[in-house]
Copies of this chain bind each other. A is one copy, B any other.
Amino acid sequence: MSYSQADAGNWSRSVASMDWTAVGALTPELKDKEVLIRRQAQTTRPMGKNMAFLVVREELFTVQCLAAPQSAGVSRRMLKFVAGLNRGTIIDVIGVVSIPRNPIKGTTQQVEIQVRKLYCVTKAMPNLPIIIKDAVRSDVEIANALQIFRQFLLSEGFVEICTPKLTAGSSEGGSAVFKLDYFGQPACLARSPQLHKQMAICSEQRRVFEIGPVFRAEHSYTHRHLCEFTGLDVEMRIKKHYAEVMDLVDRLFVTIFDSLNERCEKELEAVGRQYPFEPLKYKPKTLRLTFERGVQMLKDAGMEVDPLGDLNTDAERKLGQLVLEKYGTEFYILHRYPLAVRPFYTMPCFDNSLYSKSFDVFIRGEEIISGAQRIHVPEMLEERAQACGIDVNTISISTYIDSIRYGPAGPHGGFGAGLERIVMLFCGLDNIRKTPLFPRDPRRLAPLKMF
Interface positions of A (Cβ within 8 A of B): 1, 3, 5-7, 9-11, 15-16, 20, 38-39, 58-59, 88-90, 121-125, 128-130, 132, 139-140, 142-143, 146-147, 150, 154, 159-168, 178-183, 185, 187, 189, 195-196, 199-200, 203-206, 212-213, 215, 217, 219, 227-228, 230, 238-241, 347-348, 350, 353, 375-377, 380, 383, 395-396, 399-400, 402-403, 405-411, 419, 436-438, 440, 442-443, 445-448
With A122-B409, A164-B440, A180-B180 given, is the CB distance from A3 to B350 under 8 Å? yes
Closest Cβ–Cβ distance, residue A305 to chain B (whole Å)? 26
B348 close to A3 (CB less than 8 A): yes
In angstroms, Cα B144 to Cα A366, docked, is: 35
Closest Cβ–Cβ distance, residue A230 to chain B (whole Å)? 5
Partner of A38, one of B353, B410, B440: B410
A11 close to B195 (CB less than 8 A): no
**Which residues in B have their C-beta under 8 angstroms from that of A125?**
405-406
Partner of A5, one of B123, B215, B377: B377
With A178-B182, A180-B178 given, is the CB distance from A143 to B166 under 8 Å? no
Closest Cβ–Cβ distance, residue A107 to chain B (whole Å)? 16
Work out how many copies of this chain go into the complex.
2
Closest Cβ–Cβ distance, residue A160 to chain B (whole Å)? 5
B437 close to A166 (CB less than 8 A): no
In angstroms, Cα B402 to Cα A285, docked, is: 49
B445 close to A122 (CB less than 8 A): no
B408 close to A185 (CB less than 8 A): no
A162 close to B419 (CB less than 8 A): yes
**Which residues in B have their C-beta under 8 angstroms from that of A140?**
159
**Which residues in B have their C-beta under 8 angstroms from that of A240?**
10-11, 15-16
In angstroms, Cα B22 to Cα A239, docked, is: 12
Closest Cβ–Cβ distance, residue A2 to chain B (whole Å)? 8
Contacts A5-B377, A6-B377, A88-B407 known; list 9 others, CB within 8 Å: A6-B347, A58-B204, A90-B408, A121-B410, A139-B161, A150-B150, A164-B228, A164-B436, A179-B181
B130 close to A406 (CB less than 8 A): yes
A-B contact pairs, 23 of them (CB 8 A): A1-B348, A3-B348, A6-B375, A7-B350, A10-B411, A16-B240, A20-B239, A88-B407, A89-B408, A130-B406, A132-B203, A132-B204, A139-B159, A139-B161, A142-B162, A164-B438, A165-B165, A165-B213, A166-B178, A166-B227, A179-B181, A180-B180, A400-B447
In angstroms, Cα B136 to Cα A205, docked, is: 13
**Which residues in B have their C-beta under 8 angstroms from that of A179?**
180-181
In angstroms, Cα B375 to Cα A227, docked, is: 32
With A143-B160, A204-B132, A228-B165 given, is the CB distance from A88 to B446 under 8 Å? no
**Which residues in B have their C-beta under 8 angstroms from that of A147?**
154, 160
Partner of A376, one of B20, B122, B219: B122
A408 close to B88 (CB less than 8 A): yes
**Which residues in B have their C-beta under 8 angstroms from that of A164?**
213, 228, 436, 438, 440
Chain B's closest residue to A238 (CB) is B10
Chain B's closest residue to A179 (CB) is B180
**Which residues in B have their C-beta under 8 angstroms from that of A442?**
183
In angstroms, Cα B442 to Cα A400, docked, is: 21
**Which residues in B have their C-beta under 8 angstroms from that of A400?**
447
With A161-B143, A213-B164 given, is the CB distance from A185 to B348 under 8 Å? no
In angstroms, Cα B15 to Cα A239, docked, is: 10
**Which residues in B have their C-beta under 8 angstroms from that of A180?**
178-180, 189
Closest Cβ–Cβ distance, residue A438 to chain B (whole Å)? 5
Closest Cβ–Cβ distance, residue A112 to chain B (whole Å)? 22
In angstroms, Cα B451 to Cα A164, docked, is: 17
Closest Cβ–Cβ distance, residue A200 to chain B (whole Å)? 6
**Which residues in B have their C-beta under 8 angstroms from that of A150?**
150
Chain B's closest residue to A441 (CB) is B183
In angstroms, Cα B3 to Cα A204, docked, is: 25
In angstroms, Cα B25 to Cα A351, docked, is: 35
B239 close to A437 (CB less than 8 A): no
In angstroms, Cα B189 to Cα A46, docked, is: 49
Chain B's closest residue to A167 (CB) is B445
Closest Cβ–Cβ distance, residue A409 to chain B (whole Å)? 6
